[in-house]
Structure formats: C-alpha cells, structure tokens
Amino acid sequence: MVPHEDSSLFPRSAGDAAADDAPLDLAASAALIETQRARVAAATDLDARLLFGVWGAAWLVGFAALYAVALDPPLLGWPAWSAGALFAALLVAAMVVTAVHIASRSKGVRGVSSRAGAMYGWGWGLSFGGVAALGSALARAGASAEVMQLVMTVVPALLVGALYMVGAAMSGSRTQFALGAWIAAVTIVAATVGAPGILAVMSVAGGGGMLVGAVLEQLRRRRMSPRADR
C-alpha cells in the first residue's frame, strides 16, 4: 500500500482537487504522459496533410483549367478569364483554410515559435507582394500574354519551393523539405517546357506532387503511431 505523498495537502473534502490527486501507479503515469503528449501535438502542430492537400488540389485543378483553355483548340469552351478566375478563387480558398488552421493551432501559444512563425509569415507575404508588383509592372511594360504567363507561373512556384525548403530547415521536417525541393525541380522542368505545356506540368507534377506529399505524411504518421489516425 502506497500512501499518497500529498494527502495532508489535499483533504478528501476538497472535492475534485483531491479526486484527481489520487495516487498514480507507474504504468498509469507513463500512459498519462504518452496520451497527453499526443493530445498536445494533435492540438498545436500544423497538419501538413491538410495544408498540402488544399494547396495541391488548388494547383491541380487551377493549372489544369488554365491549360485546358490555353490549348489550340481548347479542351474547354470557357473564356480564358474564367479559368484565371477559378484559379484565383481556389488560391484564395487555400489561403483562407491555411490562415484559419494556423490561427486555431497556434492559439494561446506565445514565445519563440510564435515569433518564428510570424517572421516566416512575413517572408511569404512580402515575397508574394513582390510577385504581384512584378506582374503589374510587366503588364505596364507591355509584356505579351505568353511572357506574363511564364513569369507569373515560374516565379511564384519557385518561391513556394524555396519557402517550403526554408520552413523545413526551421522545423526539421524532411517531408516538407522533399516537397519544396520537388516543387522547385518541377518548376525548372516546367520552365524549359514552355507554354502551354508548363501549365500541364505544374498541374500534374506540382499539384499532384503536393497531394502525394499529403498521402506520404499520412503514412508517416501511421508508422510513427500505429494507434493514431485510424
């Protein structure tokens, strides 16, 4: 019989404070640590499956739509602007999902990681502000539609690859690094293919690659913790 160390501090009449201070056995302690660690990780870690999934789907469908209307003759009878609008809407939706997910997972956490996250976020925001400025500058300078499409596909995609790799260096995530390197490599190949094939490459290999990344992340989680995510 093991008397409880704190029994004098927690009279039985103190209600729940006494009840959850009941003596722990060793196996129960170990199980409790494991359960609570898993709970904290599930509540505060970003879910790469969700993020890779929404961005992969947006690229896959959006670039495919651009490709379908860019072909001669077009695969889809849509006006060209509607494919661009669809892609823009998909990207905005992915951004909203990402922002909501990050806000909910990092809620109430302050300190080193929220500072690092804010810096990383500014890195994305300023880079893509620059891409938007480049796009409007090229349009003002009279760039052709083909030049615009090449630049506005290659530059943002390279940035995504680079920022994924940098983010992976911060978090130590091999999956994220591999995905960033894959996107950069796909973009290099796509750039050499040129219009309109670049759009097909970005859709299938870029968007598809991110979806494969989401699946690999699911498999990694299942391997790490056989009982989770069933």
Partner 1 sequence: MVHELLDPVIHTQSRLRIMTTLTALRAGDRLTFPRLQGLLDATAGNLSTHLRKLEDAGYIAVTKAHVGRVPITYVEATRAGRRAFEDYTEQLRVLLTPPTGAAGPTEENR
- How far apart are the C-alpha atoms of 202 and 207, rounded to whole Å? 6
Picking from 205, 220, 210, the residue whose alpha carbon sits closest to that of residue 180 is 210
- How far apart are the C-alpha atoms of 177 and 166, rounded to whole Å? 8
Q: Nearest distance from residue 116's CB to partner 1, in Å?
A: 9
Is residue 108 part of the contact set for partner 1 (CB under 8 A)? Answer: yes
Given a contact cutoff of 8 angstroms between Cβ atoms, the answer to whether 227 and 90 are in contact is no
Given a contact cutoff of 8 angstroms between Cβ atoms, the answer to whether 197 and 163 are in contact is no
Is residue 79 part of the contact set for partner 1 (CB under 8 A)? Answer: no
Is residue 27 part of the contact set for partner 1 (CB under 8 A)? Answer: yes
- How far apart are the C-alpha atoms of 211 and 98, rounded to whole Å? 15
Member of 12, 13, 26, 141 binding partner 1 (CB under 8 A): 26
Q: Which is nearer to partner 1, 120 or 128 (CB)?
A: 120
Q: Nearest distance from residue 165's CB to partner 1, in Å?
A: 21
Q: Which residue has 């670039």 as its token pair? A: 63
List the interface residues with partner 1, window 6-25 (CB under 8 A): 6, 16-17, 20-24
Given a contact cutoff of 8 angstroms between Cβ atoms, the answer to whether 165 and 180 are in contact is yes
Is residue 225 part of the contact set for partner 1 (CB under 8 A)? Answer: no
Region of 61-69, 102-110, 159-167, 208-216 interacting with partner 1 (CB under 8 A): 102-110
Is residue 113 part of the contact set for partner 1 (CB under 8 A)? Answer: yes
CA 215 centroid distance within chain: 13
Q: Which is nearer to partner 1, 23 or 194 (CB)?
A: 23
Is residue 44 part of the contact set for partner 1 (CB under 8 A)? Answer: yes
- How far apart are the C-alpha atoms of 32 and 45, rounded to whole Å? 19
Is residue 32 part of the contact set for partner 1 (CB under 8 A)? Answer: yes
- How far apart are the C-alpha atoms of 44 and 205, rounded to whole Å? 30
- Interface positions with partner 1 (CB under 8 A): 2, 5-6, 16-17, 20-24, 26-27, 29-30, 32-33, 36-37, 39-41, 43-44, 107-114
